[in-house]
């Protein structure tokens, strides 16, 4: 039995360590979009598969018995390809996704996409853009004349407006770190994605404390029919349960979600849910 972890997140690295401790054969795959990524234990491949069809071939050639999609909550393309490929190859799939953030004070502005975030942010004076480098083009036009601070992990290769500044850094950052950044740069508007988890929550807590306006981009939906888990512990249990099923029996697996699994609202029975 070999498990494929689609990774690039802290949860993916923790799951790799958990499967390694359990002596479960696995391999991790990273998209390769970060120059020096944090690597998990165990075998790692870096790079794309060539779409859903390429992933089907990979699953077949490598004899993959189950897949855990532990990619970033905003890696919608990868998640869609994983869902399509696993359905085509009859390979069980589960989505490991950390819980999203909750606005305890009801002050944040939630938007559906990056374009909506740029539109709302345009009323700000000094904007901290914390959405990653891959979507900066969605903000350059609407915010070209604004004072914008961008924080990215790797140096940018694209030209930005003269009024923009770039800060290179790799988290996690504490709330104290983020508070200093907001104060030192006179930030009055924060734009971020609902990445969830505690490691990047500090900027939100600091913004709330300082009265900085927060704009949060909602997560894209999980592919229809894919069950999700929110912790590494439950993902590990899922892998162990799937490992008990012989390959010939996979089509007969009870695909109803167990009490620890959550199906997407309105979706059909999840592909890859463990037996009840």
Final residue in a domain of this structure, among 217, 233, 268: 217
Residue 142 domain-assigned? yes
Residue 272 domain-assigned? no
CATH for 160: 3.40.50.720
Whether the CB-CB separation of 8 and 23 falls below 8 Å is answered with: no
Residue 31 CA to residue 10 CA, distance in Å, equals 14
Q: Which parts of 143-210 fold into alpha helices (H)?
A: 175-184, 202-210
Average pLDDT, the chain: 88
Q: Do 87 and 125 belong together in one domain?
A: no
Q: Do 176 and 248 belong together in one domain?
A: no
Residue 212 domain-assigned? yes
Instruction: Supply the pTM of this predicted model.
Output: 0.84
Lowest mean pLDDT: which of 56-65, 74-83, 250-259? Answer: 250-259
Q: Do 209 and 246 belong together in one domain?
A: no
Query: Quick one: average pLDDT of 99-125?
Result: 95
Residue 273 domain-assigned? no
Query: Quick one: average pLDDT of 25-34?
Result: 91
Q: Do 113 and 204 belong together in one domain?
A: yes
Conformation bin of residue 186: beta by default, left when phi > 0, alpha when psi is -120 to 50: left
Tokens linked to 62: 């490598």
How far apart, in Å, are the Cα atoms of 265 and each of 52, 223, 256, 270? 24, 11, 13, 11
Q: Do 209 and 240 belong together in one domain?
A: no
Number of compact structural domains in the chain:
2
Residue 162 domain-assigned? yes
Whether the CB-CB separation of 162 and 140 falls below 8 Å is answered with: no
Q: Do 115 and 201 belong together in one domain?
A: yes
Asked if pLDDT for residue 175 goes beyond 70, the answer is: yes
Q: Do 28 and 56 belong together in one domain?
A: yes
Q: Do 138 and 156 belong together in one domain?
A: yes
Q: Do 50 and 142 belong together in one domain?
A: no
Predicted local confidence at residue 267, as pLDDT: 32
Predicted local confidence at residue 197, as pLDDT: 87
Query: Quick one: average pLDDT of 220-245?
Result: 93
Residue 199 CA to residue 174 CA, distance in Å, equals 8
Residue 259 domain-assigned? no
Predicted local confidence at residue 264, as pLDDT: 39
CA dihedral 169, 44, 23, 86 (to 10 degrees): 110
Q: Do 127 and 157 belong together in one domain?
A: yes
Q: Do 133 and 162 belong together in one domain?
A: yes
Q: Do 186 and 237 belong together in one domain?
A: no
Residue 275 domain-assigned? no
- Domain span at residue 186 reads 109-217
Partner residues linked to 45 by β-bridges: 29
Final residue in a domain of this structure, among 166, 199, 217: 217
pLDDT category at 34 given cuts 50, 70, 90 is confident
pLDDT category at 235 given cuts 50, 70, 90 is very high
pLDDT category at 26 given cuts 50, 70, 90 is very high
């Amino acid at each position: 039995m070999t498990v494929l972890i689609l990774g690039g997140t802290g949860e993916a690295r923790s799951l790799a360590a958990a499967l390694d401790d359990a002596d479960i054969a696995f391999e991790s795959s990273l998209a390769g979009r970060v120059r020096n990524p944090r690597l998990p234990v165990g075998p790692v491949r870096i790079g794309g598969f060539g779409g859903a069809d390429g992933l089907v071939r990979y699953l077949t050639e490598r004899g993959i018995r189950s897949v855990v999609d532990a990619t970033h909550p905003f890696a919608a393309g990868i998640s869609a390809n994983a869902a399509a490929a696993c359905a085509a190859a009859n390979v069980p799939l589960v989505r490991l996704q950390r819980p999203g953030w909750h606005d305890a004070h009801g002050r944040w502005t939630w938007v559906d996409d990056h374009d909506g975030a740029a539109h709302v942010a345009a009323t700000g004076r000094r904007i901290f853009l914390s959405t990653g480098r891959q979507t900066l083009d969605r903000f350059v036009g609407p915010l070209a004349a604004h004072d914008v601070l961008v924080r990215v992990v790797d140096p940018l290769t694209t030209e930005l407006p003269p009024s923009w500044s770039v800060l290179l850094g790799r988290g996690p950052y504490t709330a104290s770190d983020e508070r200093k950044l907001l104060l030192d740069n006179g930030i009055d508007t924060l734009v971020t994605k609902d990445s969830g988890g505690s490691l990047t929550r500090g900027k939100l807590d600091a913004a709330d404390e300082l009265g900085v306006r927060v704009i949060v981009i909602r997560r894209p939906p999980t592919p229809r029919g894919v069950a999700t888990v929110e912790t590494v512990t439950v993902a590990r249990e899922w892998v162990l349960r799937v490992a008990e099923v012989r390959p010939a029996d996979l089509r007969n697996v009870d695909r109803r979600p167990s009490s620890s699994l959550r199906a997407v609202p309105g979706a059909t029975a999840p592909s890859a849910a463990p037996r009840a």
